[in-house]
Amino acid sequence: MSSNLFPFGENEPMDDVFRVMTVCTGNICRSPMAEVVLRDRFEAAGLGERVVVDSTGISAEEHGNPIDPRARAVLAARGYPVPVREAREVRAIDLVASDLVLAMTEVHAHALRRLAGADDVVAGRVVMFRAFDPAAPRIAPGGREYVLDVDDPWYGGPDDFEDCLTQVEAAADGVVARVRLALAEHDSGT
C-alpha cells in the first residue's frame, strides 16, 4: 500500500480531523464493534482529538436499532466502553466526508464503491478492514477480496462474536499506524 493511500483532499474536514468509517450490513454487529475498538486504539495512541470514527451499514433493515446485545456483551467483557448508538444506513455524503472507509466484507466494499459512483477518489477510500491485519490472507493478483471478510457473527453464538472481535482487534493497530502516517504526511505538507 502506498503511504499516500488516504490523502486529505478537497473535502478535507476543518481542523485537520481524519474521519474513519466502518461499514457492515445492518450496523449492529461488526461495524459498531470495529468503531468501538478503533476509538479505543486511537485514544490510546494519542490521536483521539485528531481522528473521528463512525460506523454505518449498507442496508436500512436495522436503522434505528441499538448495537446487538451479543456484540455489546463481548465488547464489555474485554473492557471496551460501549456507547449508546443507533444503526444507520450509509449515504453517498458519508463516503465523501470520510477519509477512510473500512468495509467488513467484499460485498460491503462493492456496495460502497457503487455508491461512490464515478468518483474514483471517493471509491479509492474504500479498503477492506482486514487488509490491515498482518496475519490475514493476502489477495493474490487478480484475486477476490472475500479472503479478507470479517466473519459475520449474527447467526452464531457467543463464540462467533468473540471470533469477530478478535478479527477486528487484529487489524486495529494496522489501521492506527496507517492513519498516523497519513496525518504525519498531512502535517509535513507531503
* CA nearest neighbour of 98 among 32, 34, 54, 149: 54
d(CA 86, CA 44): 25
Let me know: does 154 contact 68? Beta carbons within 8 Å.
Answer: yes
Which candidate in 19, 29, 30, 88 is catalytic? 30
DSSP string across 91-107: -HHHHHH-SEEEESSHH
d(CA 135, CA 48): 26
Q: Any catalytic annotation for residue 152?
A: yes
d(CA 22, CA 90): 10
Q: Any catalytic annotation for residue 30?
A: yes
Which candidate in 119, 152, 160, 173 is catalytic? 152
Dihedral sign for Cα 67, 50, 109, 177, please. negative
Which candidate in 19, 24, 39, 133 is catalytic? 24
Q: Which residues are catalytic?
A: 24, 30, 152
